[in-house]
């Protein structure tokens, strides 16, 4: 498509003398900042899930053709409202080079628009194979079929637009967190290149998964996410802050916007395993 050709041409013309190319002067993609970025992304995901949980499930938002949105598939069938809203969001983000960044992944990359500002040149620490890894189709299926039913109460409150906006935010933040597995994998590869190289040459996916798994670290992440959800999910008024903070340490029952344990469970059951899947897929192709 013309948009893909333009994006490819922009990427190829990132020479230092090209006035249309901006250089990323931040160090946000350096391997030293990956852990801090992952922790910040936890906050975004938790806030997004809490925001979405205030609405009922609203199943028509996810059923193709159920709501008359102006979005159709090539065979003439109408898309779901969620797909329509996500595509519209990617049209805006795509124009301002969001998806030229190596830490962003579009759900509909084949439909990205032309850039309206010049491409930016990034110092990308990843191997070239990273460009071909995008599991957003799996993330979408997991979010709609697993996360939403566990997070939201069943029923329909007809807040389709508000629920859809919350969904778009959740999907984009979860996608970024999961695909950040590429950066995590590269960091681990550089720390232990001999061990990883041996498994990669054998294409030993199970061995790579075992080498990547640190149960104690995963348990610590789940505890941190659960504690954050407990903190962010409270209704705190000015006069009640001391009492509610004290109650956290005394086991007093507090009403949460969404059960903190449920957020931790979703993280452990879905987000973390899919992140490791991305790590393994990246490492299997790391030496290509």
Residue 34: the pLDDT is: 82
Query: What backbone torsions phi and psi does residue 190 show, to the nearest 5 degrees?
Result: -70, -25
**Mean pLDDT of all residues belonging to the chain:** 87
Q: Give me the half-sphere count of Cα atoms (radius 13 Å) on the Cβ side of residue 85.
A: 21
Residue 53: is its pLDDT beyond 70?
yes
CA atoms within 13 A on the CB side of 186: 19
Give the best-scoring range by mean pLDDT among 5-19, 115-129, 143-157: 143-157
Nearest to 146 by CA among 49, 278, 275, 214: 49
Q: Which of 64-73, 155-164, 232-241, 260-269 has the lowest mean pLDDT?
A: 232-241
- For the record, the structure tokens of 222 come out as 């789940």
What is the pLDDT, as a whole number, of residue 14?
A: 38
* pLDDT computed for residue 68 by the predictor: 97
- pLDDT digit string, tens, across residues 1-50: 333 333 333 333 333 344 455 565 556 556 668 888 889 999 999 999 99
Structural domains in the chain, CATH included, are 28-233+257-285 (1.10.590.10)
Q: Is the pLDDT of residue 151 over 70?
A: yes
The reported pLDDT for the residue numbered 236 is 72
**pTM for this structure?**
0.86
User: What confidence score (pLDDT) does residue 8 get?
Assistant: 34
Apex 233 CA angle, 217 and 272, nearest 5: 30
Residue 136's pLDDT is 98
DSSP tag of 129: G
Among the listed ranges 28-37, 122-131, 156-165, 201-210, which one has the minimum average pLDDT value? 28-37
91-107 tens-digit pLDDT:
999 999 999 999 999 99
Strand-pair partners of 234: 256
Q: pLDDT (tens digit, 9 = 90+) per residue, 63-76? A: 999 999 999 999 99
Pairing state between β 22-23 and 120-121:
parallel
pLDDT of 260 above 50: yes
């Amino acid at each position: 498509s013309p948009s893909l050709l333009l994006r490819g041409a922009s990427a190829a013309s990132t020479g230092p003398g090209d006035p249309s190319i901006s250089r990323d002067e931040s160090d946000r993609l350096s391997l030293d900042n990956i852990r801090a970025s992952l922790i910040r992304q936890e906050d975004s995901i938790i806030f997004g899930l809490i925001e979405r949980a205030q609405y009922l499930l609203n199943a028509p938002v996810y059923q193709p053709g159920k709501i008359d949105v102006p979005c159709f598939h090539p065979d003439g069938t109408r898309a779901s409202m969620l797909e329509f809203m996500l595509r519209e969001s990617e049209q805006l983000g795509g124009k301002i080079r969001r998806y030229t960044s190596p830490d962003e992944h579009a759900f509909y990359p084949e439909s990205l628009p032309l850039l309206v500002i010049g491409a930016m040149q990034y110092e990308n620490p990843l191997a070239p194979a990273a460009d071909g890894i995008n599991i957003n189709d799996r993330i979408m299926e997991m979010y709609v079929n697993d996360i939403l039913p566990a997070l939201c109460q069943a029923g329909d409150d007809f807040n389709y637009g508000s629920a859809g906006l919350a969904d778009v935010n959740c999907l984009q933040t979860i996608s970024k967190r999961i695909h950040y597995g590429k950066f995590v994998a590269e960091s681990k590869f550089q720390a232990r290149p001999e061990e990883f190289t041996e498994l990669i040459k054998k294409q030993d996916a199970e061995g790579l998964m075992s080498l990547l798994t640190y149960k104690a670290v995963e348990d610590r992440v789940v505890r941190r996410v659960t504690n954050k959800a407990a903190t962010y999910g409270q209704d705190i008024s000015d006069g009640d802050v001391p009492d509610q903070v004290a109650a956290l340490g005394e086991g007093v029952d507090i009403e949460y916007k969404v059960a903190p344990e449920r957020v931790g469970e979703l993280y452990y059951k879905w987000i973390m395993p899919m992140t490791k899947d991305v790590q393994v897929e990246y490492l299997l192709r790391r030496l290509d």
